Amino acid sequence: MSKPSTAITPTRSENYAEWYQQVVRAADMAETSPVRGCMVIKPWGYAIWENMQSILDGMFKETGHQNAYFPLFIPLSFLEKEAEHVEGFAKECAVVTHHRLEATPDGRLVPAGELEEPLVVRPTSETIIGASFAKWIQSYRDLPLKINQWANVVRWEMRTRLFLRTAEFLWQEGHTAHATSEEAVEETMQMLDVYATFAEDSMAMPVIRGEKTEGERFPGAVHTYSIEAMMQDRKALQSGTSHFLGQNFSRAAQIQFLDEQGQQELAWTTSWGVSTRLVGGLIMTHADDDGLVLPPKLAPIHVVIIPIVHKADDPDAIMRYCNSIAAELSATRFDDRPIRVEVDDRDIRGGDKAWQWIKRGVPIRLEVGPRDMADDAVFMARRDKGLKEKSGVPRQQFIETITDLLQEIQDSIYARALEFRQAHTRTIDSKEEFYEFFTPEHREENKPVPAHGGFALTHFNGSVELEDQIAKDLAVTVRCIPTEMESEPGTCPFTGQPSPQRVVWAKSY
């Protein structure tokens, strides 16, 4: 049996869903847990999430938000106050009904001590945070109130996939209250821009900003906005959402304030969030058939140094040389953070080490042997390039240009992702072409599925019934109404009715 030509099997073109799972495993990022639908995030995967948290948390604080923490459990009565909201999450709620366990004579444990009121494990926190806001806000002087929470949530998903969709996941949720509708709308759009900036500048993942249609709106919101990214199987990933909630949740929670004229008013609120789904998006945007490819701004390690000592006359000298390079690199900063370097001195084959770091997506690998040390050089490989593209570089030159090199890698993988999205985005003006675009071609046995689909830009009359019918026919939905696209009035190709502008359609996660 011949050895696979790639580290990951199957490849993206052979079985994208399984390829994704294998990349997660090969990079040692996460694994399924004994609890159905939940995951264990391993150190490498969690380090990526920590870097995401760090950058986003700084962006939130720069825009005037403070962190707080609210209860994991929400009284059922709180959810019942907001009927539309609870209806949207009802099927996904985990409910606590008892507060202790008792042993039976045969040694089993059974729930006992029924609660007076069931508690819902938070699927999102608008209602419980609203209760606090109602106490904290009395006057216009208390506004705006801008709070963020880093937490876990539970949504009882039936079909799960590591990072992308799990019963429990990690996220942040921002909640704000304002004196006017205009301020709340401005906040909603500001946070959408924060998410888009983070996705493009830090994740190297191009996104489209836009408003959700009525059928895709967050339960209880007046307007929902999202950033949408194209994955390498041409499906869309909703990568962050920002909601203008109007006064709906204020009315339910009685978040009121005295305005400057002494009149009692309801506050205008927003909420917004991203989750560990972003880690899945990072994988599906950049990884290849040899494993993860990380943008340097999020990489837990920027440079790994692999000493080649098995044929060296003085292995200790090579180790000193490698450690001195690591010390100089660590004293340098990239993206306002120290460059993170690992000297891999494990007692295993150099080739095995290299493959482990390739699969983990480290941006730069350096191999250093006797000849490199003699030449005062390093042998360098970039993860964004082909595996055979390696070159010798003088040590001082490498150290002096490391920040430029990391930024070049960051820009390179963003440009590649943007080019991919542009290549698979089509402007469509007929129903026939639309259906053909999203209908797979015939698949021959033991051959990859022929390429089809992507982002389709069409006019749309806004009908919920029409969107539901297309979703039923093709599993395709309106991902967003782009906010950055000029309003170009036209005709809906499905109904012949007037349309104010084009929307983005895609299959999605």
Condensed to tens digits (0 to 9), the pLDDT of residues 174-200 reads 999 999 999 999 999 999 999 999 999
For residue 31, CA distances in Å to 1, 170, 411 come to 29, 15, 31
Q: For residue 396, tell me if it sits in a domain.
A: yes
Last residue in a domain, options 394, 422, 450: 422
Last residue in a domain, options 422, 452, 468: 422
Q: For residue 337, tell me if it sits in a domain.
A: yes
Q: What is the mean pLDDT of residues 109-136?
A: 96
What's the whole-number average pLDDT of the chain? 94
Q: For residue 293, tell me if it sits in a domain.
A: no
CATH number at 405 reads 3.40.50.800
Retrieve residue 499's tokens. 């349309």
- Helix, strand, coil in percent for the chain, rounding step 5: 35, 30, 35
CB count, 10 Å around CB of 1? 3
Residue 264 corresponds to which amino acid?
A: Q
Q: Is 486 exposed, middle or buried (0-12, 13-18, 19+ CB in 10 A)?
A: exposed
The C-alpha angle with vertex 45 and arms to 201 and 284, in degrees rounded to 5, equals: 55
Are both 365 and 345 inside the same structural domain?
yes
Are both 140 and 72 inside the same structural domain?
yes
Number of domains in the chain: 3
Are both 326 and 449 inside the same structural domain?
no
CATH number at 74 reads 3.30.930.10
Q: Is 221 exposed, middle or buried (0-12, 13-18, 19+ CB in 10 A)?
A: buried
Q: What is the band of 268 on the pLDDT scale with cuts at 50, 70, 90?
A: very high
CB count, 10 Å around CB of 62? 9
Q: What is the band of 125 on the pLDDT scale with cuts at 50, 70, 90?
A: very high
Are both 251 and 318 inside the same structural domain?
no
Are both 95 and 226 inside the same structural domain?
yes
| Of residues 82 and 118, more confidently modeled | 118
User: CB–CB of 322/305 below 8 Å?
Assistant: yes
CA–CA dist 4, 25 (Å, integer)? 17
Are both 435 and 401 inside the same structural domain?
no
What percentage of the chain exceeds 70 in pLDDT? 97
Tell me what pLDDT residue 451 has: 59
CATH number at 454 reads 3.30.110.30
User: CB–CB of 347/361 below 8 Å?
Assistant: no
Are both 20 and 146 inside the same structural domain?
yes
pLDDT tens digit string along 407-445?
999 999 999 999 999 999 999 999 999 999 999 865 556
Are both 113 and 193 inside the same structural domain?
yes
Tell me what pLDDT residue 402 has: 98
| Of residues 427 and 83, more confidently modeled | 427
Q: What is the mean pLDDT of residues 87-112?
A: 92
Q: What is the band of 1 on the pLDDT scale with cuts at 50, 70, 90?
A: very low
> Residues 6 or more apart from 488 whose CB is under 8 A from it?
501, 502
The model carries a pTM of 0.95
The C-alpha angle with vertex 318 and arms to 312 and 324, in degrees rounded to 5, equals: 175
Are both 214 and 247 inside the same structural domain?
yes
Q: Is the pLDDT of residue 13 over 70?
A: yes
Q: For residue 214, tell me if it sits in a domain.
A: yes
**Range(s) of the domain holding residue 450:** 425-506
Q: What is the mean pLDDT of residues 79-93?
A: 81
Are both 120 and 172 inside the same structural domain?
yes
Last residue in a domain, options 286, 313, 338: 286
Are both 41 and 108 inside the same structural domain?
yes
Which residue from 207, 192, 212, 206 is spatially nearest to 503, judged by alpha carbons?
212
Q: For residue 2, tell me if it sits in a domain.
A: no
Q: For residue 292, tell me if it sits in a domain.
A: no
User: CB–CB of 97/111 below 8 Å?
Assistant: yes
CA–CA dist 349, 99 (Å, integer)? 53
Are both 27 and 98 inside the same structural domain?
yes
